[in-house]
Amino acid sequence: MMGLFSSLMSSFLLLAILGFGLVLIVSGNAEVDALYAWKMNLSDPNSVLQSWDATLVNPCTWFNVTCNSDNSVTHIDLGNANLSGQLVPQLGQLSNLQNLEAYGNNLNGTIPDEFGNLTNLVSLELFFNRLSGPIPGTLGKLQKLRELRLNNNNLSGNIPMSLTNVGSLQVLDFSNNHLTGDIPNNGSFSVLTPLSFHNNPGLKPPKYQTSPLPPAPSSSAASSSVLSVSSGSLLLGLCSCLFSLHYLLVLLPYQD
Ligand SMILES: *[C@@H]1O[C@H](CO)[C@@H](O)[C@H](O)[C@H]1NC(C)=O
Ligand SMILES: *[C@@H]1O[C@H](CO)[C@@H](O)[C@H](O)[C@H]1NC(C)=O
Ligand SMILES: *[C@@H]1O[C@H](CO)[C@@H](O)[C@H](O)[C@H]1NC(C)=O
Ligand SMILES: *[C@@H]1O[C@H](CO)[C@@H](O)[C@H](O)[C@H]1NC(C)=O
Ligand SMILES: *[C@@H]1O[C@H](CO)[C@@H](O)[C@H](O)[C@H]1NC(C)=O
Ligand SMILES: *[C@@H]1O[C@H](CO)[C@@H](O)[C@H](O)[C@H]1NC(C)=O
Ligand SMILES: *[C@@H]1O[C@H](CO)[C@@H](O)[C@H](O)[C@H]1NC(C)=O
């Protein structure tokens, strides 16, 4: 009798423990999983990620990870941390991330398309790494992005036109890469200087529209032809003056 009771008791206990474990697994933290997936991809000779413990309920106590009051990650500061490995697509799940600083490491591989899902990102600092492949066009979805520094990597391909739609952009540095094609000069790119694109041997300076010539005076409008000729030459003079100015300010810096 006692034996039956205790075996019933222990199976009940076993079930309870199993159930509790299941609840723990189900309620696991997605941001812990995303950051831990990145840690698993990295080699970390200085052990800066030692506190990145996947069994904690959230990543808010992890070294150089900052959260908001809802325990959701807003900042990752891993500049000059001697990390090597790759950026992982799971990082795109950090929906409240505002700053991702991972400059000055040895990261290689590509920038994941999934970074376009980081719609709260304000600053993306990945300069001085060994990243290759294209700049994802999905970054054009980051409508709060103010600073995008990808300089001193091995990025190739064209500059995505979608980035011209990021109205919040204030600082952009793509210098010292292997980008090719045309440099956009409209939208958010209209305020950028050649310094942002320096030392990408395959990049062409922006194409500027040449001013259309004034219409030739027609013989039927003889009385107004003098006026239109003189205003035409005035326009031409203005154009060439503007062009020289433009050459000095914009085109000249490209001719190293
Ligand atoms: C690191 O991440 C990249 C990109 O997701 C993946 O291709 C690679 O297999 C990963 N490597 C390791 C060791 O996890
Ligand atoms: C950690 O964050 C602090 C403050 O933001 C910074 O000074 C330090 O360099 C960071 N450490 C690493 C390894 O990035
Ligand atoms: C970075 O790690 C490499 C080994 O991967 C080591 O040789 C080097 O001394 C480290 N540098 C710093 C500044 O810790
Ligand atoms: C990244 O660097 C490691 C170590 O040098 C190398 O084995 C790996 O092939 C590189 N991966 C890419 C995608 O460049
Ligand atoms: C994140 O971005 C990728 C590629 O841009 C896309 O395929 C995926 O559906 C997105 N995921 C979420 C959860 O929005
Ligand atoms: C840069 O990327 C290209 C591919 O785009 C690759 O062939 C080359 O080896 C890379 N260079 C370095 C220094 O990683
Ligand atoms: C800039 O011009 C390209 C075409 O050259 C266009 O696709 C893009 O939408 C334009 N951007 C803005 C902000 O108007």
Task: Decide if pLDDT at 254 tops 70.
Answer: no
Apex 16 CA angle, 14 and 19, nearest 5: 110
Q: What is the mean pLDDT of residues 27-31?
A: 83
* 108 Cβ inside 6 Å of ligand 4: yes
Q: With bands split at pLDDT 50, 70 and 90, how would you rate the model's confidence at 256?
A: very low
Q: Which of 86, 107, 131, 132 to mutate to test the pocket of ligand 6 (most atoms within 8 A of CB)?
A: 132
23 has a pLDDT exceeding 50:
no
Phi-psi region of 157 (alpha: psi -120 to 50; beta: other; left: phi over 0): left
In the chain, % of residues over pLDDT 70: 70
Which residues form ligand 3's pocket by a CB distance below 6 Å?
45-46, 82
pLDDT in the model for residue 28:
77
If you average pLDDT over every residue of the chain, what do you get?
81
Task: Give the range among 108-117, 137-146, 156-165, 244-253 with minimum mean pLDDT.
Answer: 244-253
- Confidence band, pLDDT 50/70/90 cuts, at residue 205: confident
| Higher local confidence (pLDDT), 256 or 45 | 45
Spatial CA neighbour of 205 closest among 172, 167, 176, 179: 179
Out of 41, 43, 90, give the residue to mutate to test ligand 1, the one with the largest number of ligand atoms within 8 Å of its CB. Answer: 41
Give the 3-state secondary structure of the chain.
CHHHHHHHHHHHHHHHHHHHHHHHHHCCCHHHHHHHHHHHHCECCCCCCCCCCCCCCCCCCCCCEEECCCCCEEEEECCCCCCEEECCHHHHHCCCCCEEECCCCEEEECCCHHHHHCCCCCEEECCCCEEEECCCHHHHHCCCCCEEECCCCEEEECCCHHHHHCCCCCEEECCCCEEEEECCCCHHHHHCCHHHHCCCCEEECCCCCCCCCCCCCCHHHHHHHHHHHHHHHHHHHHHHHHHHHHHHHHHHHHCC
Domains (range + CATH), the chain: 48-204 (3.80.10.10)
How do residues 37-59 score in pLDDT, each as one tens digit? 999 999 999 999 999 999 999 99
Note the pTM of the prediction, 2 decimals: 0.77
State both tokens at 217.
Answer: 């005076």
What are the pLDDT digits (tens) for 163-193?
Answer: 999 999 999 999 999 999 999 999 999 999 9
Phi/psi region, residue 158 (left: phi>0; alpha: psi -120 to 50; beta: rest), is beta
Tell which atom from ligand 2 comes closest to the C-alpha of 46: 13
Q: Which of 33-37, 55-59, 112-116, 214-218 bottoms out in mean pLDDT, i.e. has the lowest?
A: 214-218
